[in-house]
Amino acid sequence: MAIRWLKYMSFFALISCTLAGNAQQEQTHIKQWSLKECLAYAQQHNITLNNLRLAKQSADQNLISAKASVLPDLNASASQNATHYGTAQGDAGKSINLNGSAGLNSSVTLFNGGTLRADIRQSQLATEMADLDVSEAGNDLYLQIIQAYTNIMLDKETIVYAQDLVQTSQAQTEQMDQQYKAGAAAKKDLIQLQAQLASDQYTLTSAKNAERQDKITLKQLLQLPVDSAFDIVKADTTFALAAIPSLHEVIQDAINKRPEIKNSLLNIENSKLDLKKAKAGYLPVISLNGGIGTNYNNGTNIGTFRQFDNNFYQQIGITATIPLFSRKVNQTNVAKYNIAIKQAELDLLNTKTILSQTVEKAYINTQNAYSQYDASAEQLNYNKEAYRIAGEELRVGSANTVEYIQQKNLYIQALQAYTQAKYSAMLSLNVFNFYKGDFLENQQ
């Protein structure tokens, strides 16, 4: 029996080692993403951004079309007709007459009040604005990724200290169990430590679940398949309070660099071009046109090719279209685009106001996060020392289990508050620097 039992144990040990080796090998193949890699990957694969890039390509084609509108057009035409008719002589007098023509025609606009040039410039503005739309959507996506990535970093550190708490609770519970079996401790003390161990295990499980959920969120932002292996690089959990940039400086940098401000400025220029085109409606349109052609008819005695030569013609002319009365269309268009310019200017002012408020809010959040981080660090130091002392007192029997658990819970609360405050300060500073334009350049 002993030999058979050893064989079974050896078999199960072999299976366990194989599974552990496979799990370790699978873990090593999981790609670990840095924040910079996440941002770069999302920039290339996010569906929203790619849709906006396609819109930019469409705007590029409109620009090509607008530039080509100043060129003369060229059209070719050809016709062949057959006419069947009868005469008074009956069926024998019936005949078919063939005739045809061919020609080339071209026209070009010489003057239209600058409308064509305005169309070209508006198409250029449309391509620039489409490009800024991509940048603006990219900025929004970056902030979401920064938030999700920081949440995973917080989850990982929470898991680490939760594992330490579980290990400590397990050791204390085992020690108390030995004392209870030896008659040196009461059963209620053992039960209290077992309850604390269960609470610590619940905290650990919750932290692991939070990490899984936050990883899913980040994978969705990156457009990664749900079943793809994913993790972030082992982050540097140390954090030191850096100097907060000047609020005025960051607001000015944001106003000078942010795509939404540039978009609003281009929108004003676009509205002014609309006004210019509306005023051009009062002016004449002058165009140059010309053509060449020839024709033939088999009802004559002259040969077809001879007719092509004899009937060959060339034509050139200038056409002027002068607006005399447009039923107030031009007048109302001018008034509407004057209003549109004022609306665009108000939109720029509103965009600057919202951006300034957003930056100021990020500045205040950073200051508050710094203050909370300082306070939580001091609180953690005191509770950590008190928890250490309580553990020593419990070990030597000078403190009861209730007092120890109370102090441990205070330490856990302080540790959680400190961890939250640390990553909140880190995130707030990153967001604030993002508006300044320094964040992406500093990522590894």
- At 76, the amino acid letter reads A
From CA 253, how far away is CA 433, in angstroms rounded?
10
What are the backbone angles phi and psi of residue 429, rounded to the nearest 5°? -65, -40
What integer pLDDT is reported at residue 372 of this predicted model?
94
- Residue 285 host element (H or E): strand 285-297
Q: Choose the weakest-confidence range: 300-304, 349-353, 385-389.
A: 300-304
Residue pair 27/88 in contact (Cβ under 8 Å)? The answer is: no
State percent of the chain over pLDDT 90: 61
- At 390, the amino acid letter reads A
Q: Choose the weakest-confidence range: 24-28, 48-52, 309-313, 360-364.
A: 24-28
**Residue 343 pLDDT > 90:** yes
- In terms of C-beta density within 10 A (0-12 exposed, 13-18 middle, 19 or more buried), how is residue 430 classed? buried
- At 406, the amino acid letter reads Q
Residue pair 233/33 in contact (Cβ under 8 Å)? The answer is: yes
From CA 281, how far away is CA 343, in angstroms rounded?
22
Which residues does residue 317 pair with via DSSP β-bridges, in sequence order? Answer: 289
Express each pLDDT in 80-127 by its tens digit: 998 877 655 555 556 788 888 999 999 999 999 999 999 999 999 999
- At 2, the amino acid letter reads A
- Of the candidates 419, 358, 422, the one whose C-alpha atom is nearest the C-alpha of residue 143 is 358
Residue pair 373/422 in contact (Cβ under 8 Å)? The answer is: yes
Sheet containing strand 285-297, edge to edge, reads 73-87, 90-111, 285-297, 313-321
What integer pLDDT is reported at residue 29 of this predicted model?
64
Express each pLDDT in 132-162 by its tens digit: 999 999 999 999 999 999 999 999 999 988 9
Express each pLDDT in 291-305 by its tens digit: 999 998 887 778 778
Give the strand pairing for 90-111 and 285-297. Answer: antiparallel
Q: Choose the weakest-confidence range: 26-40, 83-97, 299-313, 430-444.
A: 83-97
For 69-94, give the DSSP string: TTSPEEEEEEEEEEEEEEETTEEEEE
What would the two tokens of residue 205 be? Answer: 């499980």
For 145-205, give the DSSP string: HHHHHHHHHHHHHHHHHHHHHHHHHHHHHHHHHHHHHTTSS-HHHHHHHHHHHHHHHHHHH
- Residue 183 host element (H or E): none
SS3 264: helix
Residue pair 108/71 in contact (Cβ under 8 Å)? The answer is: yes
- In terms of C-beta density within 10 A (0-12 exposed, 13-18 middle, 19 or more buried), how is residue 408 classed? buried
Which residues does residue 297 pair with via DSSP β-bridges, in sequence order? Answer: 99
- Of the candidates 126, 144, 141, the one whose C-alpha atom is nearest the C-alpha of residue 44 is 141
For 219-235, give the DSSP string: HHHHT--TTS--EE---
Contacts of 102 (CB under 8 A, 6+ apart): 76, 77, 78, 79, 293, 294, 295
* Residue 150 CB neighbours (<10 A): 20
Read off the pLDDT band of 403 (50, 70, 90).
Answer: confident
- Of the candidates 147, 128, 78, the one whose C-alpha atom is nearest the C-alpha of residue 265 is 128
- Of the candidates 69, 161, 150, 85, the one whose C-alpha atom is nearest the C-alpha of residue 387 is 161
Higher pLDDT, 265 or 187: 265
From CA 230, how far away is CA 212, in angstroms rounded?
10
SS3 240: coil
What integer pLDDT is reported at residue 322 of this predicted model?
92
